[in-house]
Structure 1
Amino acid sequence: MQQLNHWYRILATGFCFAVFGIGGVLLSLTVFPLQRLFIRDLEQRKRHARHTVHKAFKGFIALMRFVGIFNFNFTASAQLEQARGQIIIANHPSLIDVVALIAMTPQADCVVKAQLFSNPFMRGVITSTGYISNSDPDKLLDDCAASLNKGNNLIIFPEGTRSTPGSTLVFQRGAANIALRAKRGYLALYICCQPSTLTKQEKWYQVPAKKPTLSIKYLQDIQLTDYLERIQSPSLAARQLTRDLQYFYQQAVK
């Protein structure tokens, strides 16, 4: 029975990956063109597109729970549902972290790799929602600040990529630079996936022996007053903030 369950979860995982890809294409070919047709204002259209993705990702999380490939424990849902114009940061242990966060967060914006703008399954979703490209670092900071000023919630993984299981968390300066440019603090979350799965080192079909649980919990709000007032150099401020965030998360995961 255990072996049958393992094979079932491999097939169910493949099914969910297929649904995700096909769903992105269908949204790009049906819902988003209709929104472009009927909603002339660009910013309003992006808001509707982000709401559509928010609902679609909620449905995808429900599908993964229904077919039995994941358990979910989202104790941070109350804080995320109330978030408005906040920078949301978290560690990044699995491939579906961003899907879960967008499913939980209204008007979620995020920074995406430039390569995804040419991905046939995600290109339409990314361009319709106005998600921010990381192709131009200087423009990225201004785009993030503008998105926050419009009331969007910005999801950022300070590591810049998925964590390596068992390794010490190492943060890049991007999250600090964005926060300092926008003069916004953080809503800090901790994500745990046990047993580990869908890491950067694993293929989708390498499912663990036991059904994993993805947990997302609220840690605290982090204000930047000291960094903005006491440190005059933006580069020094970003460096110190990055070190402090990294230490904070290293303590949180113990």
Structure 2
Amino acid sequence: MTKALNGPSTFRYQVFFVVATALGFVSFGLGAILLSLWVLLLRVVIRNPDRRVRWSRYAISRGFAVLVRYMQLAGSVDIRWKNWSSMEADITQGGVLIANHPSLIDVVMMIARIPNANCIVKKKLWNNPFVGLLVRACGFIPNDGRPEMLDECRQAIARGEVIIIYPEGSRTSSMKAMTLSRGAANIAILAGVPVLMLTIQRTTPFLTKEVHWNNLPTVAPGFLLSYEGRWELAPYDDLPRAKAARQLTADWLKFYTDRGDKWDRN
């Protein structure tokens, strides 16, 4: 059980939190530089593009795993996983993995445990001078509205890859009700695969749209990543594709709304 602190203890924890978090961001930046050099080296020594993508994803996953381990050991963030062994068995078959998106570090926590994950990423990340090289080296799929995007997702799943998608499109806002786009539903229906459901809950808002890292907590923020099992698409088979995507998205919205994103760590 983690208890909130008071008085001088709170101040000491907040000073520690600032130092630990700042070191985490610095480590992330240095890691991004080292990983960029790594993927550039892979271009020289590995000619096969599929192998380069696999090695690039593995390197990113290991880098994120180190960062997650640092946050846990430093005590700046409490991260836990539930039913993860079941998910690791299911992802070997490929498919679509969807999750809610309460925090900036969601993708870091997920990829740290999924070494060969593919992702749908914002177009601005694809062209970002800081992480764009890594995103492209991993073969991630830009969410740029191209007609070919759905087919690229279908082909990736056919190769046995797991594609991580946040149906919300961006981080959850505490200022308005959750909404989901139909993109993930369309991809799953087109590929004809069950969807792997993940919920991310937190003890307190941290690195959200409204709460940034300098909003100092009085106790380590906690995250619980729970695998909820496979969402079968058979009940939607008799519906036209557009109607099936609408219904599936509505059912997912109810699923995530009912569970909420609050975690009682006690």
* Structure 1: unaligned runs, 5 residues or longer: none
Tell me how far 1:225 sits from its aligned partner: 1.4
How much identity, in percent, do the aligned residues show? 34
Mapped to 1, the partners of 2:137 and 2:177 lie a distance apart of 36
The DSSP-based 3-state class of the residue aligned with 1:175 is: helix
Whether 2:53 is the aligned partner of 1:32: answer no
> Taking structure 2 as the reference length, what is the TM-score of the superposition?
0.89
2:212 is equivalent to residue 200 of structure 1: no
Does structure 1 residue 64 correspond to structure 2 residue 71?
Answer: yes
Aligned-residue CA RMSD in angstroms? 1.6
Aligned partners of 2:12, 2:158: CA distance in 1, in Å? Answer: 51
Match of 2:4 in 1: none
Partner of 1:177: 186
Question: In 2, are the aligned partners of 1:197 and 1:207 still within 8 Å (CA)?
Answer: no
Matched residue of 1:110: which SS? Answer: strand
| TM-score, structure 1 normalization | 0.93
Alignment equivalent of 1:244, drawn from 237, 251, 257: 251
Corresponding residue SS for 1:155: strand
Q: Tell me if structure 1 keeps the 8 A contact 2:174–2:210.
A: no
Q: Which residue of 1 aligns with 2:3?
A: none
Q: Tell me the equivalent position of 1:224.
A: 233
State the distance in 2 between where 1:20 and 1:65 align: 15
**1:2 matched residue in structure 2:** 10
C-alpha distance in 2, partners of 1:132/1:99?
A: 17
- Alignment equivalent of 1:134, drawn from 118, 140, 143: 143
Aligned to 1:19: 27
List per-residue Cα deviations over 1:131-169 (Å, max 9, x = no partner): 110113422211111111111111111111111237532
2:218 partner SS:
coil
Kindly report which structure 2 residues correspond to 1:59-138, keeping only aligned pairs within 5 A, or say none: 59-82=66-89, 83-84=91-92, 85-138=94-147
Asked if 1:44 is matched to 2:51, the reply is: yes
Which amino acid letter does the alignment assign opposite residue 230 of structure 1? D
| Residue 249 of structure 1, CA deviation | 1.7
- Number of residue pairs matched? 251
